[in-house]
Amino acid sequence: MAFYDEISERLSEQPLHVKLILLLVIVAVISAAYWYFYWSPGRETLERAQRKLASEQKRIKEYEAVADELPAFEKEFGRLEREFELISLKLPKEKEIPALIDSVYSEISGSNLDSIIFAPQGQVAREIYAEIPIQMEVIGGYFNLADFFDRISRLPRIVNVRDLVLSRTDVKGNNVILNAKFNVVTFRLLPRPDTPAVSEKGKGKGKTKSRKKRNTKEEP
C-alpha cells in the first residue's frame, strides 16, 4: 500500500497538464490493449461470419429459384416422357425385325420395281437405340419409286431412307426409268444395362442367313 500511496502523493503534486497527459497515456494503453486482444480478433471473426452468411444466403436464393422452376421442369419432363413412350411404340422389338425387313422387301414388288441389291446390314448401336440399315438398289419408273417410298413411310414402324443416289437409265414414253441406290434404316431400343441381351454373335448369324437368302432371291 505504501507504494500506491507514494505514487498518489507524487501525482497529486504534479501540475494539471501533466495529470492530463498521464491520463491520456493510460487511456491510449488501455484502448490499444483492448483493440489488440479483443476488438481485432473479434472483428476478423465477425467478417468471416458475415462472408459465410452472404454465401449461404446466395445459395439459398439459388435453391429457391430452382424450387420455383421445379414444377415447370416436372411438367416438361412428363411431356417428354410421354412423347418418348409414343415414339418407342413405333420402334420394332428385336423379334419383329425380320418381319419388318420382309415387309420392306415385299413393297419392292408391290411398287413394280426391280431389285438389284437387298442386303440387310449389321446393327449400329447408338446411346439408347440401334440402327438396322438395309442396303438397297432398285430400278424402275419415277412414279414407281415414289410409290415405294410412300409405302414404306406408311409401315407401322419407323423406317427412314438415307443416302439416296439417283441416275437415269432409260425413258419409256412419259416415264423416266431410274436406278436408285439408298439405305433403308429402321431402329430399335437397346435393352437397359441391367437387362440381359441376346449376344451380338447370335444376331450376326441370323442376319447373315437372311442376307444370303435375299441375295440368292435377287440373282439374275
Q: Which of 16-25, 143-152, 209-218 has the lowest mean pLDDT?
A: 209-218
The rounded distance, in Å, linking the Cα atoms of 87 and 73 is 21
What integer pLDDT is reported at residue 7 of this predicted model? Answer: 63
- Split at pLDDT 50, 70, 90, the class of 176 is confident
Of the listed ranges 16-30, 60-74, 77-91, 162-176, the one predicted with least confidence: 77-91
pLDDT surpassing 60 at residue 195: no
Choice between 118 and 81, residue whose per-residue pLDDT is larger: 118
Q: Kindly state the average pLDDT of the residues 116-144.
A: 88
Which pLDDT score is estimated for 192?
65
What is residue 91's predicted lDDT score, i.e. its pLDDT?
Answer: 65
> Would the pLDDT of 172 be above 60?
yes
pLDDT at 93 over 80: no
Determine which of 12-21, 73-82, 87-96, 201-210 has the lowest per-residue pLDDT on average. Answer: 201-210
pLDDT (0 to 100) of residue 45: 75
Asked whether the predicted pLDDT for residue 168 surpasses 50, the reply is: yes
Higher pLDDT, 190 or 107: 107
> What pLDDT is attached to residue 1?
55
Better pLDDT: 73 or 206 = 73
Q: Which amino acid is at 136?
A: M
Report yes or no: 123 and 132 within 8 Å, Cβ to Cβ. Answer: yes
Residue 215 has pLDDT above 60, yes or no: no
Residue 205's pLDDT is 41
Task: Give residue 180's pLDDT.
Answer: 94
The distance in angstroms from the start CA to the end CA of the chain is: 132
Q: Which residues of 76-106 are buried (b: 16+ CB within 10 A; e: fewer)?
A: eeeeeeeeeeeeeeeebebeebeebbebbbe
